């Protein structure tokens, strides 16, 4: 008997329960703007924050939630999630895949993106490409660095008991890749850091 993906179910449940109220806040702010009842920088701040939170929850839902075999995600959906999650961030994303992709593989790509975001403390660009069945997620910026021990986690080292919540994606990526019968690779390049699977 296969054990259910408990962490994925927890992530999916949290994101599912948050996405509706955050969306409702955004809709409410939009309605207030249409009626002219509320204008100004305060309402813009609330609107932008709600939109950013909704995009982040959608990104987390794919990265940390459960992925069913056979599910596909369209390229425009992925770009919309990544574009929305860029608000307030110095990191930009360039999703260069034009066709729908299996959700299980997009999940791995999103986990890799989250890994590379931590390596770009001053911002930069993350480019995602796929050739046949090989994915490549490359991060570049003016400063590129990973904290000690994180690269080893991507390659499958056991996570320490002291793993920080901000680094959980490093421990989850090899597990998600293993479910696809793949192993992540991480290499430093002249331009930055690259993760493949």
Q: Where are the domains of the chain?
A: 1-66, 72-197
Q: Which of the residue ranges 43-47, 52-56, 59-63, 171-175 would you say has the lowest mean pLDDT? A: 43-47
Most confident of 21-25, 135-139, 162-166: 135-139
CA atoms of 173 and 64, how far apart (whole Å): 10
pLDDT in tens, 91-135: 999 999 999 999 999 999 999 999 999 999 999 999 999 998 899
Q: State how far the alpha carbon of 109 is from the alpha carbons of 8, 19, 44, 119, 176, in Å.
A: 16, 21, 32, 15, 10
The CATH topology of domain 72-197 is: Heat Shock Protein 90 (3.30.565)
HSE-up of residue 5 (Cα within 13 Å, Cβ side):
14
| Banded pLDDT at 16 (limits 50, 70, 90) | low
Joined tokens for residue 105: 């593989």
CA atoms of 93 and 171, how far apart (whole Å): 22
What pTM did the predictor assign?
0.85
- Total residues belonging to the chain: 197
Asked if pLDDT for residue 151 goes beyond 90, the answer is yes
């Amino acid at each position: 008997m296969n054990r259910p993906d408990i962490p994925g179910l927890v992530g999916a449940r949290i994101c599912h329960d948050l996405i509706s109220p955050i969306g409702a806040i955004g809709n409410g702010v939009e309605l207030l703007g249409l009626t002219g009842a509320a204008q100004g920088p305060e309402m813009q701040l609330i609107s932008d924050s709600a939109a950013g939170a909704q995009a982040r929850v959608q990104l987390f839902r794919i990265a940390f939630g459960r992925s069913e075999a056979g599910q596909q995600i369209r390229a425009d959906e992925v770009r919309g999630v990544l574009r929305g999650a860029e608000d307030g961030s110095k990191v930009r994303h360039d999703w260069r895949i034009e066709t729908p992709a299996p959700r299980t593989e997009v999940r791995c790509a999103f986990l890799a993106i989250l890994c590379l975001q931590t390596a770009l403390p001053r911002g930069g660009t993350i480019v995602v490409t796929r050739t046949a069945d090989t994915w490549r997620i490359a991060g570049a910026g003016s400063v590129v660095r990973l904290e000690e021990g994180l690269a080893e986690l991507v390659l499958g080292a056991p996570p320490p008991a002291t793993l920080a919540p901000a680094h959980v994606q490093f421990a989850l990526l090899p597990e998600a890749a293993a479910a696809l019968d793949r192993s992540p690779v991480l290499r430093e390049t002249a331009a930055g850091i690259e993760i493949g699977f």
